[in-house]
Amino acid sequence: MRRPLGFFPTPVVKLERLSALLGGPNILMKRDDQTGLALGGNKTRKLEFLIADALRKDCDTIITAGAAQSNHCRQTAAACALVGLECHLVLGGEQPENPNGNLFLDKLFDAQIHWGGVQRKGEGVNTVCELLKSKGKKTYIIPYGGSNELGSLGFVRASLELDSQLKEHEEEVQSVVVASSSGGTQAGLMVGLEMLSSETSVIGIGIDKLGVENHEFARMILDLTYSTANQLELDISYDLNDVEVRYEYLGRGYGVVGQPERNAIRTVAKTEGVLLDPVYTGRAMAGLIDMIKQGRFERGQTVLFWHTGGTPSLFSYTDDVLQY
């Protein structure tokens, strides 16, 4: 079951000037920064399934968690406003003096914010949930990043959407490159592509240092592909080797803008007029640019960069992005 929250299909565009500048493969971009819900982003697709589940279970209050500049929390807050649910966000860090970017929007959507200090992956969610229950609320917890087998269904659906767009334009894509952080996007795309018996591979660009050791993050994505496929009563045959996550681009960690991200954001802005974000898509594009330089793709091949959104957080990183 799905509660429509966005405008789909999102466009697929050719990045001709960027492709020419880099001199590698042809680069397409899937514009999920244009999903239409509160400045867009990949979480809209997951929320269509998660919010539907909350409504089906007659819940009246949503609780989720993320970093202070979480795009997931901003889109959750907007979705709750749209369908009339109360929204509680457990955010990492402390209340800043001037709430800007996503946090400003969270407040505009009337979400109630609980500050979690050093924790930014929802460690405090259960405490908030118990408190709300004791006040008689019917609560529904959406996991960090909306990444469970329900949220991932949004990206199974997205792969089908992409497939019909590519067929229409007679394009074949060797690889999809996407920022990967809580894993639901990558897992959903992998399941969708397997469902289509597609040859296209998914390359996740790791955004967060957590989970790098012992392939923990890749294992989590693998598990998620199976639980998602299970929902669909679909047989899949992935193993750990099929989950490609690149960890070379983590820089100084989650949310820290370095020269590669800065360069990627500015290059794409000035060659294509497209805005990337400092935390996810800037880093993922830096990864794509590097992989092209390393010769990972051949000329004449086509790669698709999945733009997962994040635009509002640009406004809380202006100094980091413009710094020379």
Residue 245 φ/ψ, nearest 5 degrees? -125, 125
Choice between 132 and 193, CB closer to ligand PLP: 193
Choice between 10 and 181, CB closer to ligand PLP: 181
Catalytic residue among 70, 147, 175, 316: 70
Instruction: State the nearest-atom distance from the C-beta of 167 to ligand PLP, in Å.
Output: 25
Residue 70 designated active-site: yes
Residues in the site for ligand PLP, rule: CB under 6 A? 41-43, 71-72, 145, 147, 179-186, 277, 280-281, 308-310
Choice between 41 and 124, CB closer to ligand PLP: 41
* d(C-alpha 65, C-alpha 189), whole Å: 23
Q: Which class for 94: exposed (0-12), middle (13-18), buried (19 or more C-beta within 10 A)? A: exposed
Cross-sheet strand order for the sheet of 12-14: 12-14, 26-31, 302-307, 175-180, 201-206, 244-246
88 Cβ partners below 8 Å, 6+ apart?
61, 62, 63, 64, 111, 112, 113, 114, 128, 132
Instruction: State the nearest-atom distance from the C-beta of 135 to ligand PLP, in Å.
Output: 30
Its sign, for the CA torsion 183, 184, 185, 191, is positive
Nearest to 268 by CA among 27, 84, 80: 27
Report the SS3 class of residue 207: coil
| CB-facing half-sphere around the CA of 300: CA atoms within 13 A | 1
Instruction: State the nearest-atom distance from the C-beta of 203 to ligand PLP, in Å.
Output: 13
Contact 201, 207 (CB under 8 A): no
| Residue 299 falls in which region: left (phi positive, over 0), alpha (psi -120 to 50) or beta | beta
Choice between 43 and 132, CB closer to ligand PLP: 43
Choice between 132 and 264, CB closer to ligand PLP: 264
Nearest to 201 by CA among 169, 222, 174: 174
Report the SS3 class of residue 125: helix
Instruction: State the nearest-atom distance from the C-beta of 199 to ligand PLP, in Å.
Output: 23
Choice between 46 and 132, CB closer to ligand PLP: 46
* d(C-alpha 73, C-alpha 231), whole Å: 25
Strand partners, 14: 28
Instruction: State the nearest-atom distance from the C-beta of 242 to ligand PLP, in Å.
Output: 17
Residues annotated as catalytic (active site), given as ranges: 70
